[in-house]
Amino acid sequence: MEQIAQKLAKIGQELRRREVEIVEADASLGFVSRYSSMQLKGTIQMLEDSQESLTAIRRRKGVCDRGEEIAFLLPYNYSSYICILAIGQVLVGNNVRMKPSELSASSARIMADILTEVFPQNVSFDYRSGREFMQWAIAERKIKVVILYGSHLIALEYLSSFRDTGKKFIFEGPGKNPFIVLKDAALSSAVEGLKRAKYRASGQICFSPGIVYVQEEVFDEFLDKMLAVTKRLNVGSPLDPATDIGPLGSSLAVARIKEQIEDAEAQGGQVLCEGNIEGNLVYPTIITNAKKTMIGMTDESFGPVLWFTKFKTVDELIELAADNVFGLAMTIYGVDGVQRIVSELKGSDYLHTVPEITFGKYGMVSVNPGIAADDIPRGSTALFRPFGGYGYSGWVCETTEDYFEFKQGPKNMLLETSGPRGARSVL
């Protein structure tokens, strides 16, 4: 137990020592220095808090036998959080093979240096292309579970392969997350909540808000307040401590946003502050008069773009929000009607079997959240905190005894790759 604690402390020390390198690597992906430092501090705090959970963690046994591995295909926006994913698996007795995004090669190599020094027998990094790695992981017998973060279009391509092999497939995908403002909401709190949730990391977070539904009685007032906040954001170099929005890490995301804005304008949408794109720098943008026929209302906007639309009644809101191919997260500000919205749109608290991909439900629903919560959850239970949703936002599937089981809802990677069958020593 003491040896594990020392190893976790060593990782924390190395993250602190290399903070400048990590922030600079993150800056190449558009993550502003303030956000990168905050994420790094959150990771270190989780490492410290996880020491309080070592007894509970060591009661679980990983699914890997000797020589077997869990394969991770990682997103480019995880940076230091890669350490948390890897460490959790190692502590329950699994070995991990991490495939970082090609976009985040610089930050990933820093994490690889740290993790492979501390856990040389348990953690490895793989730098082949994503598709090559995915095909290899499906076919390779020593890979016990494949965990993919990324596009649902790619994940759907491989569903039949996992059905055939019986291998467990965990997918965490995009979101087009509703941010709902009811007429009795505390508007100032809602504005601050939306600003923080959307513009941190320049909008490059899968659970950041996408569509803003505002009840018509307060639509103009809320929009004016949000416009004022958005116009005060500083756009520029990620390494400047004063910068709020930096260039996006993915040129593909920029191209999609440009297409979405052009399509919105063609369909009568009003593009406000600014709608400008310079290289990979997307200025914070608000689009009003948004319609369901606009591609930006259905596809993820992985950047600082918000789509505003108004609604009259709670019934109308429920119908609008249910019409979403993604079902990751939903945030509600207000009181009257909240209980009904949650009852209609929230799915189960944890992963459960579904007959097919389920739409119209959300995995994570937050009501009148405080704005001081950390980006990365703190506390000794953080390693076991569920995350995920419905639709094309994620799933877990595997074939056991010729039965193909498909599950959706919030999930925890650590619980899904281990069982409560006693402790296993990994060191």
- Give the tokens for residue 306: 């918000």
Say whether pLDDT at 399 is over 90: no
In a domain, 424, yes or no: no
At position 64, the amino acid (one-letter code) is: C
State whether 289 and 208 are in the same domain: yes
* CATH number, domain with residue 196: 3.40.309.10
pLDDT at 290 over 90: yes
Contact 364, 377 (CB under 8 A): no
Q: Establish if 379 belongs to a structural domain.
A: no
Statement to judge: residues 76 and 31 lie in one domain: yes
Looking at the domain assignment, is residue 387 inside a domain?
Answer: no
Domain of residue 44, residue span: 2-174+392-419
Asked if pLDDT for residue 423 goes beyond 50, the answer is no
Looking at the structure, do residues 152 and 210 belong to the same domain, yes or no?
no
Say if residue 1 is exposed, middle or buried (CB neighbours under 10 Å; 0-12, 13-18, 19+).
exposed
Q: Report the domain count for the chain.
A: 2
Q: What is the mean pLDDT of residues 356-368?
A: 97
220-248: average pLDDT: 95
Residue keyed to tokens 């808000």? 209
Does residue 190 sit in helix, strand or coil?
helix
What's the average model confidence in pLDDT over 330-356? 97
State residue 54's pLDDT score: 72
**Residue 422: is its pLDDT beyond 80?**
no
In total, the chain counts a number of residues equal to 427
DSSP secondary structure, 7-61, as one string = HHHHHHHHHHHTHHHHHHHHHTTT--HHHHHHHHHHHHHHHHHHGGGHHHHTTSE
- Provide the H-helix boundaries in 99-168: 105-118, 130-139, 152-157, 159-165
Could you give the CA distance from residue 89 to residue 272 in angstroms, rounded to a whole number? Answer: 45
Give the DSSP H or E segment for 93.
none
Please tell me the distance from the alpha carbon of residue 196 to that of residue 290, in angstroms, as a whole number: 22
pLDDT of residue 421: 63
**Pair (207, 125) in one structural domain:** no
Under the banding of pLDDT at 50, 70 and 90, the label for residue 52 is low
In a domain, 375, yes or no: no
Average pLDDT over every residue of 81-92: 93
Q: Within a domain: residue 378? A: no
Q: Is the same domain home to 100 and 33?
A: yes
Q: Which pLDDT value is given to residue 273?
A: 82
Q: What are phi and psi of 294, to 5 degrees?
A: -80, 135
**What is the model's pLDDT at position 5?**
84
Tokens read off for 166 = 């019986």
pLDDT at 373 (0 to 100): 44
**Mean pLDDT, rounded, of the chain:** 92
C-beta of residue 220 within 8 angstroms of C-beta of residue 187: no
Q: Is the same domain home to 109 and 31?
A: yes
- 187 and 272 in a single domain? The answer is yes
Residue 350 has pLDDT above 90, yes or no: yes
pLDDT, greater one: 200 or 359: 359
- Token pair of 50 as six digits: 């996880």
Q: What is the pTM of this model?
A: 0.93
pLDDT in tens, 151-178: 999 999 999 999 888 899 999 999 999 9
Judged against a pLDDT cut of 80, whether residue 109 lies above it is answered with: yes
Instruction: Based on the fold, state whether residues 22 and 95 are members of the same structural domain.
Output: yes
Q: What is the DSSP letter of 103?
A: G
Q: What percent of the chain has pLDDT over 90?
A: 83
Q: Are residues 48 and 95 in the same domain?
A: yes
The pLDDT value recorded for residue 381 is: 54
DSSP 198-258: HHGGGG--TTSEEEEEEEGGGHHHHHHHHHHHHHT--BS-TTSTT-SB---S-HHHHHHHH
Q: Give the per-residue pLDDT at 402.
A: 78
Residue 240 falls inside a structural domain: yes
Do 25 and 143 fall within a single domain? yes
Give the CATH number of the domain where residue 154 resides. 3.40.605.10
Q: What is the mean pLDDT of residues 400-413?
A: 91
On whether both 106 and 225 belong to a single domain, the answer is no
**Does 372 score more than 70 pLDDT?**
no
Mean pLDDT, residues 183-193: 97
Give residues with Cβ within 8 angstroms of 330, minimum separation 6.
Answer: 177, 178, 179, 180, 321, 345, 346, 362, 364, 365, 366
The letter for the amino acid at 117 is E
Segment 298-341, tens digit of pLDDT: 999 999 999 999 999 999 999 999 999 999 999 999 999 999 99
- Is residue 307 in some structural domain? yes
Q: How far apart are alpha carbons 62 and 70 in whole angstroms?
A: 10
In whole angstroms, how far apart are CA 166 and each of 160, 163, 289, 351, 381? Answer: 10, 5, 46, 19, 31
pLDDT of residue 380: 43
Q: How many CB atoms lie within 10 A of CB 298?
A: 17
Is residue 425 a part of any domain in this protein?
no
Q: Quick check: 142 pLDDT over 90?
A: yes
Q: How many other β-carbons are positioned within 10 Å of the β-carbon of residue 5?
A: 13
Name the domain boundary from 367, 384, 406. 367
| Residue 257 scores a pLDDT above 70 | yes
* pLDDT higher than 60, residue 197: yes
Residue closest to 33 by CA, chosen among 338, 245, 196: 245
Tell whether 154 and 226 lie within a shared domain. Answer: no
Mean pLDDT score, 73-81: 94
Among 38-47, 132-141, 224-233, which stretch is predicted with the lowest mean pLDDT?
38-47
